[in-house]
Amino acid sequence: MASAAFAVSSPAASAVAARSKARPAYSPPPQLLPILPPGLNISCVTAWWFVDARRCLGEEGARGGRDAAWGSRGRLANYAKNFGRVMMALAVDVSRFEGVPMAPPDPILGVSEAFKADTNDLKLNLGVGAYRTEELQPYVLNVVKKAEKLMLERGENKEYLPIEGLAAFNKATAELLFGADNPVIKQGLVATLQALSGTGSLRLAAAFIQRYFPEAKVIISSPTWGNHKNIFNDARVPWSEYRYYDPKTVGLDFEGMIADIEAAPEGSFVLLHGCAHNPTGIDPTPEQWEKIADVIQEKKHMPFFDVAYQGFASGSLDEDAFSVRLFVKRGMEVFVAQSYSKNLGLYAERIGAINVVCSAPEVADRVKSQLKRLARPMYSNPPIHGAKIVANVVGDPTMFGEWKQEMEQMAGRIKNVRQKLYDSLSAKDKSGKDWSFILRQIGMFSYTGLNKTQSDNMTDKWHVYMTKDGRISLAGLSLAKCDYLADAIIDSFHNVN
């Protein structure tokens, strides 16, 4: 599935021709002429040289790769003896980026690309987690439009934010998350930095962990959002998984989760989804959260929350913050990454925050200063636009109320769609299978329990685009399409394996 973002339009042959056009004309030395076809230029010759390396340099030299070919002067001299000084000069003209392979397409964003290419009328995009209206259109919240208009009228400047971001935003975001009257806020225990949405917040925290807790590792749920692994890999923080999803029940493997958290080395970082687990939609119950907090405290682990859906899961900002507030109430030091991509529909504005709850104000100051030091060589200071929108919306009681209403509507639409899907499945599926897990899951996503082959069937036969782990984005589903989707799921589940 090639992403359109980097689609290749010209085949290799014309690429060669293009190379010849772009480079100055070159005449090969006479001794090469019998070997070289006409029209080839430097790069082709050098490529041929590498292919030929095996013959000239022997297995060992060739296996050593690029460096072996010209790292050892002896081998190079030997080769040069055969083909003359000119070949040596050719060799060092090879591009430095010769060894750069094509990266694989993104497993999530690639789904949308494939969907776009599909011409079938019945097609349905349940891939990426971006909210759609009942008409399956993207949605800019009215309150966001209002805020932007206000900002435009005020004609504010675009000066650099400080490294830690917009102060008004940082205040608003911490209060939203912990509750404005939470002691940790009143006592100045929270280090908050505006960051580039959830990803950027997670990355700052990961870089901080790598620098200040170099022996520690992170444990992440199995499964989890795909990019979590990329983030910790690129930040060079080792990670392993704890059990989470139980395919037998299409629910939470709570015993496994607790056991694995317990088994992790003391002082591990435990990555938890604050609400609306991505990709499964399965959240622990309040009682289960208590037990999770117990074991984390016992093992002196550090809880690390990814909160990408506050307000979007249940419709209530406070309810969705329950798990985070529980841990904080126990006096634990906690990392929390936030995102406003979904709940304020600000996806491309890249607005979020990393919060670290510390045991004392001066600790929070130190932690904040070091997070800034990590941000500065990444992007200097964060983008202003999204921060201003959030600050304006949250700072004005009317707009804040309007936001809460729109958020309830979005969450409400998803709940309705869940119900309708469940109703359709139960009505149509005569096998007696229990589909109620769909109602127990929460948030934008549902783990259907379909495996890869079955998911492929969904796409190939029914033109329903989803990720291969069986995840569907309910945000991309309308009431009108629930019956069709139910047919597709039933067919894939029962008739394919």
Partner 1 sequence: MAALSLAASSAIRRRLLLPPRLQAARAMATSLFGHIEPAPKDPILGVTEAFLADPSPDKVNVGVVRAALLSSPLLSSPLFFSPAIAAGAYRDDNGQPVVLDCVREAERRIAGNLNMEYLPMGGSMKMIEESLKLAYGEDSEFIKDKRIAAVQALSGTGACRLFADFQKRFLPDSQIYIPSPTWSNHHNIWRDANVPQKIFTYYHPESRGLDFAGLMNDIKNAPDGSFFLLHACAHNPTGVDPTEEQWREISHQFKVKKHFPFFDMAYQGFASGDPERDAKAIRIFLEDGHQIGCAQSYAKNMGLYGQRAGCLSILCEDEMQAVAVKSQLQQIARPMYSNPPVHGALVVSIILNDPELKSLWLKEVKGMADRIIGVRTALKENLEKLGSPLSWEHITNQIGMFCYSGMTPEQVDRLTNEYHIYMTRNGRISMAGVTTGNVAYLANAIHDVTKPN
**Candidate segments 114-122, 191-199, 396-404, 469-477, binder of partner 1 by CB under 8 A:** 191-199
Q: What's the min distance (Å) between Cβ of 291 and partner 1?
A: 12
Among 43, 173, 392, 446, binds partner 1 (CB under 8 A): 43
Q: Are 271 and 304 in contact (CB under 8 A)?
A: yes
Q: What's the min distance (Å) between Cβ of 37 and partner 1?
A: 18
Report the alpha-carbon distance of residue 39 to residue 49 in Å, rounded: 16
In 3D space, the residue among 279, 281, 321 whose CA is nearest the CA of residue 442 turns out to be 281
Toward partner 1, which CB reaches closer, 58 or 107?
107
Q: Does 39 bind partner 1 (CB under 8 A)?
A: no
Among 231, 252, 307, 410, binds partner 1 (CB under 8 A): 231
Sign of the CA dihedral 408, 341, 141, 356?
positive
Among 3, 240, 409, 416, binds partner 1 (CB under 8 A): 3
Q: What's the min distance (Å) between Cβ of 71 and partner 1?
A: 10
Toward partner 1, which CB reaches closer, 319 or 460?
319
Sign of the CA dihedral 301, 307, 310, 313?
negative
Toward partner 1, which CB reaches closer, 146 or 454?
146
**Per annotation, catalytic residue among 70, 225, 435, 462:** 225
Per-residue buried b or exposed e for 65-96, using 16+ beta carbons within 10 Å of the residue's own CB: eeebbbeeeebbeebbeebeeebeebbeebee
Applying CB under 8 A, the site for partner 1 has a residue count of 117
Among 72, 222, 240, 381, binds partner 1 (CB under 8 A): 381
The two three-digit tokens of residue 1, written as one number: 């599935």
3-state secondary structure of 354: strand
Residues 48-77 contacting partner 1, CB under 8 A: none
Q: Does 365 bind partner 1 (CB under 8 A)?
A: yes
Q: What angle do CA 94, 100, 101 make, to 5 degrees?
A: 130
Residue 83 CA: distances (Å) to CA of 172, 415, 489: 70, 73, 64
Q: Does 157 bind partner 1 (CB under 8 A)?
A: yes
**Per annotation, catalytic residue among 146, 342, 388, 420:** 342
Strand 245-246 with 239-243, pairing: unpaired
Q: Does 233 bind partner 1 (CB under 8 A)?
A: yes
Toward partner 1, which CB reaches closer, 372 or 404?
372
Q: Does 92 bind partner 1 (CB under 8 A)?
A: yes
The two three-digit tokens of residue 432, written as one number: 């007696």
Q: Does 426 bind partner 1 (CB under 8 A)?
A: no
Q: What's the min distance (Å) between Cβ of 58 and partner 1?
A: 24
Q: Does 203 bind partner 1 (CB under 8 A)?
A: yes
**Candidate segments 29-37, 350-358, 448-456, 471-479, binder of partner 1 by CB under 8 A:** 350-358
Residue 279 CA: distances (Å) to CA of 212, 435, 441: 30, 17, 10
Q: Does 6 bind partner 1 (CB under 8 A)?
A: yes
Give bridge partners of residue 190 from the DSSP assignment.
357
First to last CA, the chain: 22
Q: Are 356 and 191 in contact (CB under 8 A)?
A: yes
Q: Does 360 bind partner 1 (CB under 8 A)?
A: yes
Instruction: Locate all alpha helices (DSSP H) within 73-216, ordered by sequence.
Output: 73-83, 85-91, 109-117, 142-154, 167-178, 183-186, 197-212
Strand 302-307 with 334-339, pairing: parallel
Among 65, 138, 188, 401, binds partner 1 (CB under 8 A): 138
Active site residue 306: yes
The two three-digit tokens of residue 84, written as one number: 């003359």
Q: Does 239 bind partner 1 (CB under 8 A)?
A: no
3-state secondary structure of 474: helix
Toward partner 1, which CB reaches closer, 203 or 413?
203
Toward partner 1, which CB reaches closer, 296 or 458?
296
**Per annotation, catalytic residue among 253, 260, 283, 306:** 306
Q: Does 373 bind partner 1 (CB under 8 A)?
A: yes
Active site residue 435: no
Binding mask 95-114 for partner 1 (x = CB under 8 A): xxxxxxxxx--x--x-----
Residues 308-347 contacting partner 1, CB under 8 A: 313-314, 319-320, 322, 325-326, 329-333, 341, 345-347
Q: DSSP readout, 30-96?
A: GGGTTTSPTT--HHHHHHHHHHHHHHHHHHHHHHTHHHHHHH-HHHHHHHHHHH-HHHHHHHTTS-G
Toward partner 1, which CB reaches closer, 92 or 430?
92
Q: What's the min distance (Å) between Cβ of 222 and partner 1?
A: 19
Q: What's the min distance (Å) between Cβ of 219 and partner 1?
A: 16
Residues 254-283 contacting partner 1, CB under 8 A: 267, 275, 283
**Candidate segments 239-247, 369-377, 455-463, 468-476, binder of partner 1 by CB under 8 A:** 369-377
Q: What's the min distance (Å) between Cβ of 424 and partner 1?
A: 19
Q: Give the number of residues written for the chain.
A: 497
Report the alpha-carbon distance of residue 202 to residue 197 in Å, rounded: 9
Query: How many C-beta neighbours within 10 Å does residue 369 have?
Result: 12
Residues belonging to the active site: 225, 306, 342
